[in-house]
Amino acid sequence: MSVPSMVPDKAFKFRAGISEFDETTKVCTPLAVQGVVKVSPNAEGSDMGFWDFEWKPVEKRLASTYEPIQLILIPGETVWTQIKSATEGRVFALIFSSNQKYFFWMQERSKGTASPEELTAKDKDVMEKIDSILSAQIFDEDEDEMEVLEDADATGDHEPDTDMKEVEHPELA
C-alpha cells in the first residue's frame, strides 16, 4: 500500500495549547498552558496512513497538571477543523468519527495579521499538512489480495446475515 505524495513525508511540530469545550454553552475556553504538538508517521500503521498526534505541555512546572494527549490520526475517520466562532484566538478541533473532540489553540505569534483569530502562515501550513494526512487515500498495490477476497465470496462458504431488516428510505419511496 502507498500514500499519495502530497502527504508529509516526515514528522512536524507546532506550538498549541489546549482548550476546554462546554457542550452546554458551546463555549471553547483556552487553558493557560503552552504546549507543542508533534505529528509523526505511526510505526505500526504507517502502511495504512496512520499518524501519531501527541500534545504535551512545554512548561515543566505544568507537566504534572496537564497529561500529554496521545492520539492516532486515521484518514477518513478524523477531521481537523478551524473553530471560526472563536474571536480571541485561532482554535482548531480534532474530531474523531466516535464524536470524541479535542480543542487546540494555536500559539505561534500573529505577525502582521489584522486580528487574533486570523490564521498565520504557519497555521495555514499546519492545517494543510493535517488535512492532507486525514484526506489521504491509501491505494492497494497488491492485486492478489483483492482476488483472494473475490474467490472467498464466490465459493458461498459464508453465512448470510439473517438479522438484517430492510428499511424503506422515505425519500426513495
* pLDDT tens-digit readout, 59-77: 888 878 899 999 999 998 9
The count of domains in the chain is 1
Q: Which residue, 49, 34, 42, 44, is CA-closest to 4?
A: 49
Q: In Å, how far are 73, 89, 152 from 103, measured between CA atoms?
A: 15, 12, 44
Residue 141 domain flag: no
pLDDT < 70 positions in the chain: 1-6, 112-114, 137-173
Residue 170 domain flag: no
Residue 4 domain flag: no
CATH number at residue 21: 2.30.29.70
Residue 103 domain flag: yes
pTM equals 0.72
Name every residue whose Cβ is closer than 8 Å to that of residue 60 and which is 6 or more positions away in sequence. Answer: none
Domain that holds residue 89: 12-134
Residue 143 domain flag: no
Residue 74 domain flag: yes
Residue 1 domain flag: no
CA distance 73 to 110: 27
Residue 146 domain flag: no
What pLDDT does residue 15 have?
95
